[in-house]
Structure 1
Amino acid sequence: MLFFQFDITNILVGICSIMACAVIIIREARPDTKLNYSKFAIKGLSCGKMLPSRTGMFMIYCPAFIISLISACQSIITNAFEPQKNYRVLLVSVFILLHYSKRLFEVRFIHHYSGHCKLRDCFTIASSYVGLSVLVKIFTEQVPLSHVSPHLTLLGVVCFIIGECANFYHHVLLKNLRQGGSKEYKIPKHGLFEYVWCPHYLAEMVSFFSIAMISQHWIVFILSVGSSLYLATRAYNTREWYRQRFDKIPARWCLVPFIF
């Protein structure tokens, strides 16, 4: 069960969260306004300041990593004095820190970049990640222990581990497509790439919803849904990108096998 607390602050934050998610998803669905990074980056005078992809990705993830590190340290200290009250907040804080730590590790050691990122879009994404990290902790703290489902919390822990491991595994598969410093794009294969174009996005969605399972707050669930819909839109655009770039591509689902 999700925890619903309908005070004015929660209602306003919930409405703003839905609106922000809708704006980002609609923007991503339009070819002329999608976020300008990775394979979708377009260099040109009208695109504004561009950064090398690796630099841009560090800029995207570092602020959220710093915030999540501070949050995790604070939760560890608090949990030492009130373990029964704050164990889920501790879990959420540590898991968010692990997520961004993994992403920074991948940026440095796993991904082979060949493109550029738009500076303004890097700030947009970085700000959204910081906001998500802060909001998730704030609203997780609101859920009283009496409302918490231990089984849902345990399921969230298991799903987080599965999601992060699957995400990392498929990022390694993408890395292996560019052996010897190659910058050429190839059609991914192996793992869940045999069934969908973006299994790494699917795994990230599992991680998002695992955090919502641990938090058990309705606004965190809304944020997870919004993030997942953004990734679904991105996955659709990815399939279309491959379709335009290659003469023939495998018949695969965009994101979820047999569904989308």
Structure 2
Amino acid sequence: MLFFQFDMLNILVGICSIIACAVIIVREARPDTKLNYSKFAINGPSCGKMLPSRTGMFMIYGPAFTISLISTCQLITTNTFELQKNYRVLLMSVLILLYYGKRLFEVRFIHHYSGHCRLRDCFTIASSYVGLTVLVKIFTEQVPLSYVSSHLILLGVVCFIIGECVNFYHHVLLKNLRKDGSKEYKIPKHGLFEYIWCPHYLAEVVTFFSMVMISQHWIIFILNVGSSLYLAIRAYNTREWYKQRFDEIPARYCLVPFIF
């Protein structure tokens, strides 16, 4: 069950969230406006300032990680009574901190980068992560304890762990494609790569919806549906990118086995 509260704040943020998600989804669906990073990065005079991919990724995840760290420390230092009342908010803050911490760890130690990313797109994505982090905390706090399902929270924690473990495993598989130090792209294999092009995205979608289960707020649901649709388009574009780059590619679904 999702908690609905139709005051001015919820209505305005809900409308803005729907519009923002729609803009990002439509932008990603168009070849000339998709976010310029990772394998889709195009370096040229019209692209503006470009950053090395590793630098760009630190810029993308760093601010949200910092905010999550500050928020978690503030919650931990509150008195015991408030902590018991806000245990869900603390749980969410810790999980989000782990989410961004894992991403930064992967940027530093797992991923082998070969390209660049556009500065303004890094700023756009970083701002989105910061906004999501702040909104998750605000609206998770709004849900009354009497409304909260503890079973859904437990399921959310389990899904978060599964999502992040599956995501990490497939990132390691991608890393192993460049064991020899090569910067060339290769067709990934093993794990869920045998069935879909972007299992790391599918795992991230699982993580997104684990946050919905823990927060149990309708605005967090909207934000994570938007994020998931963005990844679905990104997964489709990934398959098309491999089609253009390689003469033959395996028959795989984009994001969800046997469905899409």
Equivalence for 1:127 = 127
Q: Does 1:95 align with 2:95?
A: yes
Residue 58 of structure 1 contacts residue 104 of structure 1 at CA under 8 Å; is this kept in 2? Answer: yes
Q: 2:259 & 2:74 partners in 1: Cα distance?
A: 41
Q: Does 1:209 align with 2:209?
A: yes
Give the AA of the match of 1:161: I
Question: TM-score by structure 2 length?
Answer: 0.99
Q: Does 1:60 align with 2:52?
A: no
Residue 61 of structure 1 contacts residue 100 of structure 1 at CA under 8 Å; is this kept in 2? Answer: yes
Structure 1, unaligned runs of 5 or more? none
After superposition, what is the alpha-carbon deviation per residue over 1:218-258, rounded to whole angstroms, capped at 9, x for unaligned?
00011110100000010000000000000000000000011
For 1:82, what is the secondary structure of its paired residue?
A: helix
Q: 1:31 & 1:96 partners in 2: Cα distance?
A: 31
Equivalence for 2:143 = 143
Residue 83 of structure 1 deviates from its aligned partner by 3.2
Residue 63 of structure 1 deviates from its aligned partner by 0.4
Structure 2, unaligned runs of 5 or more? none
Alignment of 1:108-257 (within 5 A): 108-257=108-257
Residue 8 of structure 1 deviates from its aligned partner by 1.2
Q: 1:245 & 1:54 partners in 2: Cα distance?
A: 23
RMSD of aligned Cα (Å): 0.8
Residue 64 of structure 2 contacts residue 100 of structure 2 at CA under 8 Å; is this kept in 1? Answer: yes
Q: 2:92 & 2:128 partners in 1: Cα distance?
A: 17
Q: How many residues align?
A: 260
For 2:189, what is the secondary structure of its paired residue?
A: coil
Q: Does 1:24 align with 2:24?
A: yes
Question: TM-score by structure 1 length?
Answer: 0.99
For 1:78, what is the secondary structure of its paired residue?
A: coil
Equivalence for 1:45 = 45
After superposition, what is the alpha-carbon deviation per residue over 1:42-96, rounded to whole angstroms, capped at 9, x for unaligned?
0000000001000100011100110110111122223633233111101110000
Residue 27 of structure 1 contacts residue 34 of structure 1 at CA under 8 Å; is this kept in 2? Answer: yes
Q: 2:46 & 2:83 partners in 1: Cα distance?
A: 53
Q: 2:167 & 2:121 partners in 1: Cα distance?
A: 23
Q: State the percentage of identical aligned residues.
A: 86
